[in-house]
Chains A and B, each alone.
Chain A
Amino acid sequence: MKSTAVKKEGENPGIVKKILGNPVIGPYMALVAIIVISTAVSGNFLTPTNIANVLVRASVVGVVSIGMTIVLLVGGIDLSVSYIMSLTACLLARMLQAQVEAGKTGIALGSVLLVLALGCFIGLINGTIIVMRNLEPFIVTLGVGEVISGITMLYTNGAPGGKLTKFWTDFGKAELLGIPSTVWVFAVMMIIFIVILHKTIFGRHIYAIGSNAEAARLTGIKVKINKIMAYVLCGFTAALAGIMLMVRVRIGEPKGASGYDMDAIAAVVIGGTAMSGGKGTLAGTLAGVLIMAIMNNILNLIGVNANLQIVVKGLIILVAVLIQKQDK
């Protein structure tokens, strides 16, 4: 046989090389750097209260980012998430208010499941239109988002409203092992979705579709259904994030979620997920979410002008994307 052209590399690359070769190393190095710098510039940063504060903020964006990661992995995007969040928050807060007025204090499971199902349903609409008519996800989700936004405004007249039952106000304040409840929700969701993406056939198919949809189809993968499913899951996580937001502000705020869509997309991309699909991990997204949250926090702590903060945030996103490993 002729000599093979590919030379054998060392069979067991060192542990250092293995770590450096891992695709999420970039975001995590950036995360460590930002923590070190933040600790250095502000004595208030590394305090338990502040860390808890950062994590709570990160949790809401984090849950949205989970769904966004899946949608980006199939080569899509979802611009309707913040509108889904607002609708969910307003709807649930008002349904809970009715419960409060009826003298109830409980979890109101039926209402909660209803708004979560609504999130899934909006995702189903997004996905179905995109897949069946083969349209650009960008414009479809933008359109659907606008519709939902309008419906929310019609429903609420643009005013914040609703009231939480005792269960939910308690839940907002609850801690377990010193960690706030919303952070636990984020952590649990993260674990569930990491298992889904990396341990199930569905997860493998998501990566395959994003990597090469035609090859996936010819490998017998049901591309359409899986793509729609990605949007359904994104709708679900957006609705869940809406509930978390409602718990935090204890009211349904029709414009309370604005900016979460862009923050989530930025966090996912900073975490190393390719907008072209097929490449990325939830572990990376976690790093991206934390980087964004810490940035927001430290700029506040050192008293940077609010408008300047936006500029800095934008620059951080650009730098993060620029230094990401380029594929040839």
Chain B
Amino acid sequence: MGEYALEMLGVTKTFSKVTALDNVNLRVKRGEVHALIGENGAGKSTLMKILSGVYKADMGEIKINGEEAVIRNPKDAITKGISIIYQELSLVPELDAVKNVMLGQEKQKAGFINSKKEEEFAEKYLDYVSHGAFDYKTPVKNLSVAQQQMIDIAKSLSYHSDIIVMDEPTDSLTNSEIEVLFEIVRQLKKDGITVIYISHRLEELFILCDRVTVLRDGQYIVDEDISAVDKDWLIGKMIGRDLKDTFPPRHRQERERTVLEIEGLTGEKFRNISFRLKEGEILGIGGLVGAGRTEVLRAIFGADKIQSGSVKVFDEAVNINHPNKALKYGFGFATEDRKGQGLFLNQSIRDNIAAAALDRVSNAGFIDDGKEKEMTQKYFQDLRVVAPDMNKICKFLSGGNQQKVVLAKWLASGCKILFLDEPTRGIDVGAKYEIYLLMDKLVREGVSIIMISSEMPELMGVADRILVMHEGSLTGELKQGDFSEENIMKLASGEKLA
């Protein structure tokens, strides 16, 4: 046996003309914790989906313990000792921990389940990761994300996996939960299990990992011992240039007019939120996933119910109970979940761009074809959507181009207050820059933007002010002079600033 537990060599994968991976290498030594990093869209997920048999590579080979391996489907991967813990955990919410671990490997006799044997078997692995920290008989939907994650890890171990991939495991965990997870990872390492650790939180890598592989735009950039590098070096490799060039310069005009005033807004997942949005500014909202940021914007937009509080638009008190009304007051909302909530995936670019602006190109309910085409063509070109023509169906576009279509839709609607929820998630670096430029152009034209982002550099690089939320409350506001990752993180975890 060589020193590598896993080698993926020369892996190439294209999706309908889009190259997701181009000749990528990943070499992981046995028993190490190996970080796999890269910006969104760099190809980490695609590479891992090839490893787990979800996708088939166009070219390239996979070696496990030095021997060539063919992984045709997810089951193949499991039998070869590879399991992946996805961000969206793969548990059945209604079943308890034991039943989830046993799913697909039930202990049975003539079709009848032997519960006692199952419990014995599953508890062995559950105890290993959780040390009995929660009840194995509770339906997992009632457990915390961290506890569910433990069950997923136990499930992987029960398959006798030698290689465990963790995809952004700390994304939705609290600080103390992250500590527990790290302990589990160290324990796995001690017991000779190889861990591939995907994360965008670079600080974690220095605490936890031995080596790191960097991908950028679907290409293999470098692998290196983590002790030999520092954070700036990693960022440089990830984005391929200096950090300060990631964001375009701001062009702002001093405007004092308040366009949106929120007072004491309370809903199911947030309470007593108050803030003002000025004309032509970008207001950032930071915080952890699940802090209630999206819910606040949805409530203002009329997509969810408001329990109490008031909303004023251009000094007029309004009661927005349906997005239709929000549009009339000049709101636009590019949601985080583009595919699920933003796009009509099986419709053309043209139909998508026109969807919120049909009133502008029609007479008495009848659409004027020529006017519609002219309008959509304008935004199609302005936003430089990369596609052969506007009749292309949206599901065949890349994430960046899909986001441009969503933005084009809202620009076409002529909105004055634009909500952007994680506007650059899953978008490659080049397209990100274009979206930042567009935001800058919009605010110069007097549009006001609220941007939710989980990426702190993005908040600091783009926003004029940052509000931070923690568990449904606003914990603070940062002005440009006070911008720092430390300050945002402190507020996001509910601490006070000194």
The answer to whether A and B belong to the same complex is yes
Residues of the B chain whose Cβ atoms lie less than 8 Å from the Cβ of A201: 358-359, 362, 365-367
Known A-B contacts A199-B366, A201-B365; A5 and B341 likewise in contact (beta carbons under 8 Å) = no
Question: Out of A1, A6, A199, A204, which one reaches B18, CB within 8 Å?
Answer: A6
- A39 contacts chain B at the CB level, 8 A cutoff: no
Structural contact, A218 and B341, CB atoms closer than 8 A = yes
* Chain A stretch 222-256: residues in CB contact (< 8 A) with chain B: 222
List residues of B (335-372) whose CB comes within 8 Å of A's CBs. 335, 340-347, 351, 354-356, 358-359, 362, 365-367, 369
Residues of B within 8 A of A (CB): 17-19, 217, 301, 303, 322-324, 326-328, 333, 335, 340-347, 351, 354-356, 358-359, 362, 365-367, 369, 386-389, 397-398, 401, 409, 413, 428-430
Contact B327 A278 (CB under 8 A): no
Q: How far is the CA of A217 from the CA of B355 in the complex (A)?
A: 11
Q: A16 to chain B: closest CB distance in Å?
A: 17
User: Given contacts A2-B429, A201-B367, could you give 8 more A-B pairs where the C-beta distance is less than 8 Å?
Assistant: A1-B430, A2-B428, A5-B18, A6-B398, A8-B388, A214-B340, A219-B356, A278-B347
Q: Are A204 and B358 in contact (CB under 8 A)?
A: yes
Q: How far is the CB of A5 from chain B (nearest CB, A)?
A: 4
CB distance from B402 to the nearest CB of A (A): 12
Tell me if A258 is interfacial: C-beta within 8 Å of chain B.
no
Q: List 13 A-B contacts (CB under 8 A).
A: A2-B217, A6-B386, A8-B388, A201-B359, A201-B366, A201-B367, A202-B365, A204-B351, A204-B355, A208-B355, A211-B344, A217-B303, A218-B333
- CA distance in complex: A146, B497 (Å): 66
A9 contacts chain B at the CB level, 8 A cutoff? yes
| Alpha-carbon separation in the docked complex, A214 to B341 (Å) | 5
> In the complex, A32 Cα to B345 Cα: how many Å?
32
Could you tell me the distance between the alpha carbons of A6 and B404 in the complex, rounded to whole angstroms? 14
B347 near A208: Cβ-Cβ < 8 Å: yes
- Within the complex, what minimum Cβ distance (angstroms) separates A95 from chain B? 33
**Given known contacts A208-B355, A212-B345, A214-B340, is B409 in contact with A200 (CB within 8 Å)?**
no
Q: Is the CB of A278 within 8 A of B344?
A: yes
A178 interfacial contact with B, CB 8 Å: no
Q: Closest CB of chain B to A196's CB: distance in Å?
A: 9
Q: Given the complex of chains A and B, what is the CA–CA distance between A5 and B46 in angstroms?
A: 16
Closest-CB distance, B405 to chain A (whole angstroms): 12
In the bound complex, what is the Cα–Cα distance between A208 and B359 (angstroms)? 15
User: A279 on the interface (CB 8 Å rule)?
Assistant: yes
Q: Which B residues are in CB contact (< 8 Å) with A2?
A: 217, 428-430
- In the complex the two chains form, is B397's CB within 8 Å of A220's CB? no
A76 to B356, CA, bound (A): 23
- For A207, A208, A219, A327, which residue has the most chain B Cβ atoms within 10 angstroms? A219
Contact, CB under 8 Å: A200 / B365: yes
Q: With a CB–CB cut-off of 8 A, which chain A residues contact B413?
A: 220
Q: How far is the CA of A140 from the CA of B376 in the complex (A)?
A: 39
Chain A, range 73-132, C-beta contacts under 8 Å to B: none
* A283 at interface by CB-CB < 8 Å: no
Q: How far apart sit A278 and B365, CA to CA, in the bound complex (Å)? A: 20
CA distance A211 to B301 in the complex (A): 22
Q: Which of B19, B322, B398 is packed against the most chain A CB atoms within 10 Å?
A: B322
Nearest-neighbour CB distance to chain B for A24, whole angstroms, equals 15
Annotate A292-308 by CB proximity to B: 1 below 8 A, 0 otherwise.
00000000000000000
Instruction: Judge if A49 is at the interface, Cβ distance under 8 Å.
Output: no
Q: With A and B bound together, what is the CA distance between A205 and B354 in angstroms?
A: 11
Shortest distance between the CB of A199 and any CB in chain B (Å):
6
A208 to chain B, nearest CB (A): 6
B323 contacts A218, CB within 8 Å? yes
Query: Contacting A4 at CB < 8 Å: which of B326, B345, B386?
Result: B386
CB-nearest residue of chain B relative to A202? B365
1/0 contact trace for A178-222 toward B, CB 8 Å? Answer: 000000000000000000000111101101100110111111111
User: Within the assembled complex, what's the spacing in Å between the Cα atoms of A214 and B324?
Assistant: 13
CB-CB nearest in chain B for A203: B367
Contacts of A11 in B (CB 8 A): 388-389
Measured CB to CB, the closest approach of chain B to A233, in angstroms, equals: 15
Q: Distance (Å) between the CB of B198 and the closest chain A CB? A: 22
Chain B residues near A278: list those with CB within 8 A. Answer: 344, 346-347
Q: Give chain B residues whose Cβ lies under 8 Å from the Cβ of A1.
A: 430
User: Among the listed B19, B335, B388, which residue makes an inter-chain contact with A5, where contact means beta carbons less than 8 Å apart?
Assistant: B19
Chain A, Cβ-Cβ closest to B356: A219
Instruction: Tell me if B351 and A207 are in contact (CB < 8 A).
Output: yes
